[in-house]
Amino acid sequence: MKPLLKDIYQRLDRAALLAELRPEAAGDHYILTCPGCGKREAYLYLNSHLIICNRQNQCGYKKSLWDWTAARYGYGQKETFAHLARLAGISLTEDSGAAVHHDPTRLLRSAQKACAKALFTLTDNPGLRYLRETRHWSEEEIRASGIGYHPGLDALRTALNADHTTEEIDALPLMATKLFSTKYRLIIPFHQNGAIAGFIGRLIEEDPEQPKYRFPKNTKVPLVNFEPTTEVVIVEGILDALLARVRGIKNVFASCTNQLSGTQLDTLTANRNTVKRIRLLFDNDPAGKKGTFSSIIKLLGDGFTDIRVGELDPQYKDLEEYLSHTKKTTLDSITFVPYYEWLATHYPIDEHDTRPSIL
């Protein structure tokens, strides 16, 4: 029988789930560090599923345990369900109907291996050519990145058959739609909290009518490769974040567009206890500047104040170009200016300026 969320909430070990919020039992409720404002003002009743901040006017944080978990780990529905079930001591098996595997990353890891192998074994592979010739990645970097090439539906099924059930394989987004096996065949793995969380497909033949990248259906684009850390560098491109990761720079995460989305802001807010400094490094073009501006405003609105903006030399379009040209393994040579200085430079306010004042 499919365990219901109600059963999970009944048996959930709330103190274990919220350990990082330092739950302190006080009669019929826990006192928590508020994920919103960081003060010891949030509470959760023992049988409730809502985290609520006492500072209603100043903070107003109010989220379900489900939403907190999803935002904290960047999880989708299935993973959130599995995480809560585990902390409730309920094991989800194939016949539970929830189709949640004990280790959801195992299938992803197998699929990643199969695609990575295909990248190098299929002859005259356009994906490999793209990475080498257009992106100038070295063979070592390509292998370390884990990027692969969709070998086709039948070949991928054959590669996964030995270790996984047909149901599992069918549920894999790389199998469930033809998009990845026909068009978006460059398969880029992405991570959340250090574990593989899914794949993004990239178009090989550029087509102005189509987006360059595809996430699996129904996925809210996460802050790609996010894991909680004091200083967070946010870039636009998936490949920017991936090349940084390959070079050992562990705090670079991709928004996958030129600004932060609501989901991505939620992830940062849910990790406010850890995330203290935000560094924006969007593409070195007008769209990147526009996105930087709106991201600054959103971050300030969410209470982040230590925000700086990276300034790349005009010759580099983005972090990936910078890293592949300079061969650098740190961001130490990039100047990050405080957001207000950046605003004053890029949005000067003078008597001839018709733009609205933002300060």
- Binding Zn ion (rule: CB under 5 A), the pick from 8, 17, 59, 270 is 59
CA distance 301 to 295: 10
Q: Tell whether residue 53 is a contact of Zn ion (CB under 5 A).
A: yes
Looking at the Cβ atoms of 59 and 243, the one nearer to Zn ion is 59
Q: Tell whether residue 127 is a contact of Zn ion (CB under 5 A).
A: no
User: Do 50 and 62 form a contact (C-beta atoms < 8 A)?
Assistant: yes
Looking at the Cβ atoms of 61 and 336, the one nearer to Zn ion is 61
Looking at the Cβ atoms of 303 and 338, the one nearer to Zn ion is 303
Task: List Cα–Cα distances, 25 to 53, 61, 277, in angstroms.
Answer: 16, 20, 31
Q: Tell whether residue 61 is a contact of Zn ion (CB under 5 A).
A: yes
Looking at the Cβ atoms of 34 and 242, the one nearer to Zn ion is 34
User: Do 112 and 145 form a contact (C-beta atoms < 8 A)?
Assistant: no
Rounded least distance, CB 265 to Zn ion, Å? 16
Q: Tell whether residue 44 is a contact of Zn ion (CB under 5 A).
A: no
Amino acid at 260: L
Q: Tell whether residue 174 is a contact of Zn ion (CB under 5 A).
A: no
Q: Tell whether residue 68 is a contact of Zn ion (CB under 5 A).
A: no
Q: Tell whether residue 34 is a contact of Zn ion (CB under 5 A).
A: yes
Q: Tell whether residue 52 is a contact of Zn ion (CB under 5 A).
A: no
Task: List Cα–Cα distances, 223 to 146, 216, 220, 283, 344, in angstroms.
Answer: 18, 15, 10, 16, 28
- Binding Zn ion (rule: CB under 5 A), the pick from 12, 21, 30, 36 is 36
88 Cβ contact list (under 8 Å, min separation 6): 7, 8, 9, 10, 11, 12, 13
Looking at the Cβ atoms of 31 and 99, the one nearer to Zn ion is 31
Pick the stretch among 44-52, 59-67, 190-198, 208-216 that binds Zn ion (CB under 5 A).
Answer: 59-67
User: Do 240 and 316 form a contact (C-beta atoms < 8 A)?
Assistant: no
Rounded least distance, CB 304 to Zn ion, Å? 14
Angle at 14 (CA atoms; ends 223, 92), nearest 5 degrees: 75
Looking at the Cβ atoms of 61 and 213, the one nearer to Zn ion is 61
CA distance 209 to 183: 13
- Binding Zn ion (rule: CB under 5 A), the pick from 17, 18, 21, 37 is 37
Rounded least distance, CB 269 to Zn ion, Å? 10
Neighbours of 18 (CB within 10 A): 22
Rounded least distance, CB 44 to Zn ion, Å? 13
Looking at the Cβ atoms of 21 and 82, the one nearer to Zn ion is 21
User: Do 106 and 196 form a contact (C-beta atoms < 8 A)?
Assistant: no
Q: Which structure tokens are listed for 103?
A: 């280790």
Binding site for Zn ion (CB under 5 A): 34, 36-37, 53, 55, 59, 61
